[in-house]
Every structure is written in C-alpha cells, then in structure tokens.
Amino acid sequence: MSTRKHTALPKARTLIEALPWLTRHHGKTVVIKFGGNAMIDEELKRAFAQDVVFLRHAGLRPVVVHGGGPQISAQLDLLGLESEFKGGLRVTTPEAMNIVRMVLAGQVQRELVGLLNEHGPLAVGMTGEDAHLMTATKHYADVDGERVDIGRVGEITAIDPGAVQALLDDGRIPVISSIARSNDDEDTAAGAPGVFNVNADTAAAALAAALGAETLMVLTDVEGLYEDWPNSDEVISRLTATQLEKLLPDLASGMVPKMQGCLYAVRNGVHTARVIDGRVQHSILLEIFTDEGIGTMVVPDANTIEGAT
C-alpha cells in the first residue's frame, strides 16, 4: 500500500485565489509600463516577460510600454554627451533625440520583444510613430513656475490606437517605445518627419486611456508611493484620484510623471492604476493574483477606498 501527500495544495490555493480576478478581467486590456532600473537586471526581465505571457494566456490583453532612461543615459555617456533633466524630463537636443530613438526602438524594445517571443510568436514592437499611434507637440518644462525649452520633448496631443487594437485582436502583445510623431508646423515645414521624446510613464497612461484599458500598471524601482518620502518607507496602498491630486505638488521628480499618469488614467476611464515594485520577481502576478496585492493602487473618485478592486 502507498500513500501520496498533496504537496501542491498551496499552489492550487494560489491559483484559486486568482479565480475571481481572472473572471472579472477576462478579455480586458492591461497596459504595463516597464521602466528604468528593473530593466537592468536580466532575471527580472525574464520574469517580467513570463508574467506578461502568463496574462496573455490567462485571457487578458496585455500591452507593454517601455522606458529606458538609464540605457539612454549610458549611451549618451559613451558618446561623451551629458544627461540633463528639467522638471523630471530629459533635455533632448536633436542629436540626443537620435540616440533616444536608437536606444528605445533599436535596443530596449528589441530585447523585450525577443524575451517575450521566447514563449511563442506573440510580441510585436512598434513606436508611437507607427500608424500614427502617438502624435505630439513640443512640450515646455515647468521649472519653478517658469516655462523652459527642453528641446525635442513632446506632449501627446492625439492617440490612434487602431494598430494596437488590431494586434490585440490578433492575439499579439504590442511592445511600444515612447516616441511620438510631430505635427508641429515647423517640423512639417522642415520637410522631414519630426519626432519627439515622450516620458514613458506619460505615454503609457495616455495609451491606457485611449484603449479604454481596465488597468494601468507602472513598474518602478521602489515599493510604491511612499507617504512621506524620503523620510519614511510607509507605502500608501490605496488612494482616490482626489487624494492623489492633493499629494501631487509635494512629490519629487521621478514620481511626478508616474502619479500624474495614474491620475490622468483613472480620470479618463481606466478602472485602476497601480505603481508596483519592479525589483520584486513576478511582481505583476503578485499584484494581480493575490488578494493583498503589492504597491499603490489609485482608483477613481466614485469608488470608495474599501470597495475598489
């Protein structure tokens, strides 16, 4: 006679914990912004790709918008060019714009597409230039109330999500670099199509809203939004749009585009926007498939803090 211990029971419980979420979110679009420092670690990148493919096979429609600030800075450094940020945005000369485009579309995006496609013919890379996905106008930074010219940095004025929708309908995972086409008069007059460097958090939020996404998920290199950064590491787990709006003026530069993006998303139809720790392996699955979640969740005002999921 032999007996068998069911050691896999905790795994089954975890899967069952995910069932209500899966039922609710089946067929829904999730825009995931993968950025910065989490993208430097090889294991984290692989785990990220596994999570995204898992979501796709679980019946969701994931879209990846990626950053690459550290990679751009490293490349500029190799070329002897300095990185300067104003109001949290990179001062982008025409020369730097070429490097930004080369690094984002030619390096970071290609690598992510490659990692995702290790699991099958799923990922398709594009930039905001493709099929008029993102159109932008020149953006001026606000530095202590002053309007400052920071070069070829763009502010999104229009999104045509048709090509992304078509890819999603075809079961693909779009991977998007945050570069937008310009339709500014001076670029048009110059004869060559102009492009702009757009902060990837801002691009992800605008795309999430344009796609009518259920969720915007922003991966970063901290646990979430700290209540009193840098004095305390108390993470705010949930807050409403209005509560976030009140906090915005006190936030420091890296968090500003992220939280502005979350606010824009939930004010424009996205049900929840979450900032989660990209340094934790499988953070996307942890956020989604466990009751507690991790990180910070922003919900629209109509939701009560307790009631939102």
Ligand X SMILES: CC(=O)N[C@@H](CCC(=O)OP(=O)(O)O)C(=O)O
Annotated binding-site residue numbers: 68-69, 90, 197
Residue indicated by tokens 């803090």:
305
Under the binding rule (CB under 6 A), the answer on residue 54 touching ligand ADP is: no
Contacts of ligand ADP in 166-225 (CB under 6 A): 220-222, 225
43: which 2 tokens?
């294991």
Residue whose CB is less far from ligand ADP, 71 or 182: 71
**Residues 86 to 115: which contact ligand X by CB under 6 A?**
89-90, 100
Q: Return the one option of ligand ADP, ligand X, none that residue 15 interacts with (CB less than 5 to 8 A, by type).
A: none
Task: Tell me: cis bond preceding 20? Omega within 30 of 0 counts.
Answer: no
Residues of span 217-276 touching ligand X by CB under 6 A: none
Which residue is it, tokens 């898992």?
54
Measuring CA to CA, which residue among 34, 152, 49, 48 is closest to residue 99? Answer: 152
Q: Tokens 């990185």 map to which residue?
A: 83
Question: Does residue 293 bind ligand ADP (CB under 6 A)?
Answer: no
Binding mask 64-93 for ligand ADP (x = CB under 6 A): ---x-x------------------------
- Cα 229 from Cα 163, distance rounded (Å): 39
Give the one entry of ligand X, ligand ADP, none that residue 53 binds, where binding means its C-beta sits below a cut-off of 5 to 8 angstroms depending on kind. Answer: none
Nearer to ligand X, 67 or 295 (CB): 67
Does position 278 interact with ligand X (CB under 6 A)? The reply is no
Q: In this chain, which stretch among 46-54, 110-118, 128-136, 198-206 interacts with ligand X, using CB under 6 A?
A: 198-206
Would strands 146-159 and 134-143 be described as parallel, antiparallel, or unpaired?
antiparallel
22 within 8 A of 59, measured Cβ to Cβ: yes
- The secondary structure of 256-299 as a DSSP string is HHHHHHHHHHHHTT-SEEEEEETTSTTHHHHHHHSSS--SEEEE
Site for ligand ADP in 246-275 (CB under 6 A): 251-252, 254-255
* 125 counts as binding ligand X under rule CB under 6 A: no
> Which residue ranges are tagged as binding site for substrate?
68-69, 90, 197
For residue 127, state whether it binds ligand X (rule: CB under 6 A).
no
Residues 195 and 192: their CA atoms lie apart, in Å, by: 9
CB 96 within 8 A of CB 153: no
Shortest Å distance, C-beta 287 to ligand ADP: 15
> Rounded to a whole number, what is the distance in angstroms from the first to the last CA of the chain?
48
Rounded to 10 degrees, the C-alpha dihedral 98/102/108/114 comes to 160
x/- binding map, residues 152-181, to ligand X, per CB under 6 A?
Answer: -x------------------------x---
34 forms part of the interface with ligand ADP (CB under 6 A): no
Q: Residue 23 CB, nearest distance to ligand X (Å)?
A: 32
Distance CA 129, CA 91 (A): 20
Q: Which residues in the 29-58 window bind ligand X by CB under 6 A?
A: 35-36
Nearest to 130 by CA among 92, 160, 170: 160
For residue 24, the minimal CB distance to ligand ADP (Å) is 28
Residue with tokens 């099929």: 131
Residues that bind ligand ADP (CB under 6 A): 35-37, 67, 69, 220-222, 225-226, 229, 251-252, 254-255
Residues that bind ligand X (CB under 6 A): 35-36, 67-69, 72, 89-90, 100, 153, 178, 197, 199-201
